Chains A and B, each alone.
Chain A
C-alpha cells in the first residue's frame, strides 16, 4: 500500500507520495491568499479552509477610536494557518495546485512543477516590468500590496551648486522622490504614498542647482540656472540619467495590477487570473474591515474619514485592482460582499474532470 507522508514546517507543509514517480504537494502559507478555491475544487475533500474572518467587533472598536493603522494590523498572515490538508485523504492529483491562482499550493512530479507541464492547465496571469521603459521611480514598489516589487535605483553624481529659479508642474510630477534624494540642500519634500502624494520645494533652502530638474524622470521640474542660462526655463537634462533594476517576486505577486495602475511610463504590465465583479451591499456593511485584512490586493479600504469615531456607511472598493478571488466575501461577517467570477484565464486541458473543475470556479461568492 502506498502511503502519503506529511512534513509540516511552521505553517507550511509538504505531502509526498513515493512510488514509481515521486509526487510532492507543497503549501506555502505566506503566499496563500485564503480564497478557498482549492477547498471547493478538491475532488476528495482533503482541504479545509480555516476561518479567516476576525472578531469584527474588536476591529470596529479599534477603528472608531481612530487607530486605523492598528486596526489593519490586528491580524497578520503569520497568525493564520490558512488551509489544512488531510494527508490521509489527499490523492496528490494536483487539482488544488492547478487552480490556485497564486501558486501557494504546488504539485511537483519527479521534481517538475505541474505548472511547467503542458497537459496540466495553468493560469495565464502575469506581471512584468519592462526594463527599457522603467524609470525606477519606485511608485510600483510603494503601491504593491504584497511587497513583491523591489526597485534598485542608481542615481547620477551631483553637479556643482549654482543659483536660479524653480517650480514644479503638478500635472507631470509623479512623486517618485528622486529630486528629494538628489537635492544637496534638502529643499525638497516628497510624499510618494499612494493617495496622498505631494511635493514641496522650500525656496529658502533651494540653491537652484538644477540637479532635481536633470534627474526628474518626467521633466516636471522647471528650473533656471542663474549662472549659466538666463531666460530659458526648459533646459534639457544634460547627462543626468537614472539607472537601476526592477524585480518582481513572482512567488508572492497576485497579479492585481497596482503596479500597472501607478506606473507613469507603462513599463509595468499585469494580467489577472480571473474576470469578475465585486459589489458591496451598503445596507449590510458595518465597515468592520474584515475584508481589508483578507484582501490580498488592497482593493478594499476604509473610506477616508475626517474625524475619528465618525460612522462610515460602507467600505471603499477599487474594482480595477480586485482579482475576484472571493476571500473578502467569505470573510465578511455580515455577508455584505458579493464577488462574481465570470471567467477564468487558463490554458486549455483535455481532461473532462479538470474542465468541470475550472468551470466550477466561475461562480458567485457571497
Chain B
C-alpha cells in the first residue's frame, strides 16, 4: 500500500507540473520515472482512484504532518523534497526577526534546505519552504514566523 500512496503523490506532482506547462520528459526526469509511466498517469491510466484520494488527503494535512508522511513514504531524501515542494497546497514565507543569533539550528533542522545563514541571520527561501514550522519549534530565541502567502 505505501508504494501505491507514493505513486499517488507522484501522480499529483506530475499533474501539477503538467499544469505549469512542463514537458513529459521534464516531468519524468524530475520525478525519477519512465516517460511512458508519466504519459499513462497524465492520461488517467494504471493508477487506482483510491490511491490518488489518499495521496490528496495527505497533501491537505497540516504541512508538518504532510512532510512526515512524505518522509516515511519516500526513502530517498532528494525525491521526497521534490514531491513535497511540488505538491504543497500553499506557498509560505518566513520572517526572521532581528533577535536571530545565527546559531544555525534551523538550517540544520530544515528538511527542505530552505534556510541559509546570511550575515549571522537566517534567511528563509519561500520557493522551498514547506511550512512545516520545524525551524520555528527549534528556534532558541523564537525569532521565526512562518506565514501563508
Q: Do A and B bind each other?
A: yes
Q: Does A44 contact B (CB under 8 A)?
A: yes
Q: Are B98 and A352 in contact (CB under 8 A)?
A: yes
Interface residues of B in 89-113 (CB under 8 A from A): 98-105, 107-109, 113
Name B117's closest neighbour in chain A (CB-CB): A119
Q: Does A23 contact B (CB under 8 A)?
A: yes
Q: Are A95 and B108 in contact (CB under 8 A)?
A: no
Q: Are A43 and B141 in contact (CB under 8 A)?
A: yes
Cα separation A352 to B99 with both chains bound (whole Å): 7
Interface residues of B in 114-149 (CB under 8 A from A): 117, 119-121, 140-141
Q: Are B103 and A350 in contact (CB under 8 A)?
A: no
Q: Which B residues touch A349, using CB under 8 A?
A: 119-120
Q: Are B104 and A23 in contact (CB under 8 A)?
A: yes
Q: Are B108 and A93 in contact (CB under 8 A)?
A: no
Q: Are B109 and A95 in contact (CB under 8 A)?
A: no
Q: Are B104 and A21 in contact (CB under 8 A)?
A: yes
**A17 touching B108 in the complex, CB below 8 Å, given contacts A91-B140, A92-B103, A93-B103:** yes
Cα separation A17 to B138 with both chains bound (whole Å): 14
Q: Does A302 contact B (CB under 8 A)?
A: no
**A43 touching B109 in the complex, CB below 8 Å, given contacts A351-B102, A354-B102:** no
**A93 touching B104 in the complex, CB below 8 Å, given contacts A43-B140, A349-B119, A351-B121:** yes
Q: Which B residues touch A353, using CB under 8 A?
A: 98-102, 120, 141
Q: Are A350 and B120 in contact (CB under 8 A)?
A: yes
Interface residues of A in 27-47 (CB under 8 A from B): 43-44
Q: Are A91 and B103 in contact (CB under 8 A)?
A: yes
For A93, give its contact among B98, B102, B109, B119 (CB under 8 Å). B102
Q: Does A13 contact B (CB under 8 A)?
A: no
For B105, give its contact among A91, A95, A351 (CB under 8 Å). A91
A319-351 CB mask vs B (1 if < 8 Å, else 0) is 000000000000000000000000000000111
Q: Does A20 contact B (CB under 8 A)?
A: yes
Cα separation A352 to B100 with both chains bound (whole Å): 8
Q: Does A228 contact B (CB under 8 A)?
A: no
Cα separation A93 to B122 with both chains bound (whole Å): 12
Q: Are A354 and B107 in contact (CB under 8 A)?
A: no
Interface residues of A in 100-120 (CB under 8 A from B): 109, 119-120
Name A44's closest neighbour in chain B (CB-CB): B140
**A119 touching B119 in the complex, CB below 8 Å, given contacts A2-B109, A19-B108, A21-B108:** yes
Q: Which A residues touch B98, using CB under 8 A?
A: 352-353
Cα separation A351 to B97 with both chains bound (whole Å): 11
**Residue picked from B100, B108, B109, B141, most chain A C-beta under 10 Å:** B108
Q: Which A residues touch B104, using CB under 8 A?
A: 21, 23, 92-93, 109
A73-112 CB mask vs B (1 if < 8 Å, else 0) is 0000000000000000001111100000000000001000
Q: Which B residues touch A92, using CB under 8 A?
A: 103-105
A residues lining the B interface (CB < 8 Å): 2, 17, 19-21, 23, 43-44, 91-95, 109, 119-120, 349-354
Could you show 15 A-B contacts with beta carbons less than 8 Å apart?
A: A19-B108, A20-B113, A21-B104, A21-B107, A91-B103, A91-B140, A92-B104, A95-B101, A119-B117, A349-B119, A351-B121, A353-B101, A353-B102, A353-B120, A354-B120
- Going nearest first, the 4 A-B pairs with the smallest beta carbon separation are A93-B103, A19-B108, A351-B120, A350-B119
